[in-house]
Chain A
Amino acid sequence: MTQLALVIDLNVCVGCHACVTSCKQWNTSGQAGPMFDDNPYGKDPTGTFFNRVQTYEIGSYPNTETLHFPKSCLHCEDAPCVPVCPTGASHKRAEDGIVLVDYDKCIGCKYCSWACPYGAREFDEQQKVMKKCTLCVDRIYDQSLDERDRKPACVLACPTSARLYGDVHDPDSEVSVAIRERGGYQLMPEWGTKPANHYLPRRKTQINIHDDELTRVDNPLKKEDIRHETSKDVSLDDWLM
């Protein structure tokens, strides 16, 4: 069974929001659209987005980490938003595990969003239905696109390729390897929702320098006849017989 998902590499995400607006532009004119914007040129503009990048500060100065954290629907394997839906609008596809909302069945009761611990769903204030990330389901199977383009818009856009996409049930897929080998983890594991999307943690590269690496025999200073000065202090050498 296939479970499509995203793996977000926090190690390289610089928080540029490319995924946010590339998602918006693709989806507003796609099957999920239009994606409404309220008061777009006035006070407190607000609109429907399937994906947001948040920023956290971890620790205190000077050991602060700044973390950029993209978040969209995690396409949980045990998605709590699905069984609560009274109309069956919210559903998880058997063939690829994508959690979708059928806008024609949705009554806008918002109960599915209450049942999502991640805040991944957004209510469209104009169409009055619940919306969420579709993994660009209207791209990834579109045979009219080049094969390399059959990916979610956010994945194509991401400048740091921090968004990996694939089948997390296929142990050999890029995403599964990344999860396995680079410490991929799930959000809020305590609720047993088994999010399909995973996150890869920050990792640090360090250089350890040994004191004796500092000077080498071919130190260029030697070519300039610069020698260490003789110590003028009394040494053991002056005493030992």
Chain B
Amino acid sequence: MHPTFSVIFLTTLIGVGQGLFLALFTQQSYSAANLLPSQGSDFYVTGSLLALAFLVGGLIAAVGHLGKPSYMFTRAWRGITQWRTSWLSRELILMPLVMGLVFLYGAFHYFGWEIRFLDYNLANQLTLLLGTITTAAVFGLFIATAMIYASIKFLQEWACALTVVNYTLLGGASGFTLAAAYAAYAAPELVGFYVGWAIILTIAALISRGGSLIRNARIKHKSTVQTAIGVRHPQIQQKSMGMMGGSYNTREYFHGATAAFLKSVKWIFLVLVFPVPVLLLWLGMDGGKGLLVAAFVIQYIGLVFERWFFFAQANHPQNLYYQTV
């Protein structure tokens, strides 16, 4: 597939936003269970705004993926109608929902609103409840986003549970890494907590992403040029695609890069997303702000490469009809 930057930024940015929210809410949950020191509302408010900023960034990127930006206002609302069948529709529902919930989560913290659902002495029950719902929505969004890709069964590189796991873990890892950097400024006592989780999630993501790389390297494509045109012969070569100046089919489904370039992108993301951030996180464990910010920035850049590679590696069966690109 041809990687488009709108989708690359959409998925990576909302991943960060979702992960950061999870990081905030994990902290709140831990502190509710008295496992971590509790934080003032500023921590959550600023954190939520930060998460929201990433989510909005993703949304803006998504607009770039529409035919025309104006469709955002004139037609995108229709996107909620096909939730029964379309993962994209589900994403379109969940994304504003997550944004709204994250906003409310921040707002509730800001205003300190409180409703006691439970009798015993537990603070912030309203935000805890809201956070739980948001967490569910966030996970739903991870799944919906990933399933957009994983549900296309003939895109065999994507059609796999690992795609969902990867999106979730990579989003989570980047969010927790950002949380670590954020904590270095806002709540230094949480740095260790976030660094720990960020490292765990990053390593988990490495395992699952590595797993999908291994799987994809061994993939046996079900479709062949023989099934594509229905001719049984081992030697079939396309001589003409029916057009010579290119078409949508040649632009949308081909990355246009060399195999060597693809390979180097793979190694770039493998280095930038996993070992380098882990090392920087580990070095920044005692609150080195620069190190932690660098860890996030590098990991995020790595994720852009990762997502580019995710698209580029997917080999669409329609390409069997367009072999002379």
Contacts and interface: CB of A to CB of B under 8 A. Distances in A.
Given A88-B81, A110-B252, A52 B242 contact: yes
B71 A119 contact: no
A122 interface: yes
A129 B68 CA distance: 9
Interface residues of A, number: 64
A123 interface: yes
B186 interface: no
B223 interface: yes
B121 interface: no
A187 B316 contact: no
Best-surrounded residue of B1, B154, B225 (most CB of chain A within 10 A): B154
A87 B321 contact: no
A187 B75 CA distance: 34
Contacts of A66: 239
B227 A46 contact: no
B258 interface: no
Contact of A87 (B81, B228, B247, B319): B81
A65 B236 CA distance: 9
Interface string B207-245: 000000000000000110101111101011111111101
B86 A83 contact: yes
Contact of B66 (A109, A119, A186): A109
A183 B148 CA distance: 36
B229 A187 contact: yes
A119 B321 contact: yes
Interface in A16-61: 17, 20, 39, 43-49, 52-60
Contacts of B86: 83-86, 111
Interface string A202-240: 000000000000000000000000000000000000000
Interface string B148-172: 1001111100000000000000000
A190 interface: yes
B31 interface: no
A58 B66 CA distance: 40
Nearest to A123: B248
A189 interface: yes
Interface stretch (B14-22, B87-95, B102-110): B87-95
Contacts of A49: 242-243, 247
A56 B246 contact: no
B76 A107 contact: yes
A187 B87 CA distance: 26
A58 to B, nearest CB: 5
Contacts of A87: 75, 78-79, 81-82, 89
A66 B222 CA distance: 25
Contact of A117 (B80, B92, B223, B241): B223
A12 interface: no
Given A54-B241, A71-B321, A119-B321, A107 B66 contact: yes
A120 to B, nearest CB: 8
A157 interface: no
A191 B67 contact: no
A166 interface: no
Nearest to A129: B67
A101 to B, nearest CB: 12
Contacts of B67: 106-109, 123, 127-129
B317 A105 contact: no
A188 B223 contact: yes
Cβ-closest 9 pairs across A and B: A108-B67, A119-B318, A128-B67, A52-B242, A83-B85, A87-B78, A86-B89, A55-B240, A44-B245
28 contacts: A43-B245, A44-B245, A47-B247, A52-B241, A54-B242, A55-B238, A56-B237, A57-B238, A58-B231, A69-B229, A71-B242, A84-B87, A84-B88, A86-B81, A87-B79, A88-B81, A106-B75, A107-B76, A107-B79, A108-B66, A110-B252, A116-B318, A118-B317, A119-B319, A127-B67, A129-B67, A191-B222, A199-B229
Interface of B: 1, 65-68, 71, 75-76, 78-82, 85-89, 92, 148, 151-155, 222-223, 225, 227-231, 233, 235-243, 245-249, 252-253, 316-319, 321-322
Interface of A: 17, 20, 39, 43-49, 52-60, 65-67, 69, 71, 80, 82-89, 104-111, 113-119, 121-123, 125, 127-129, 185-191, 199, 201
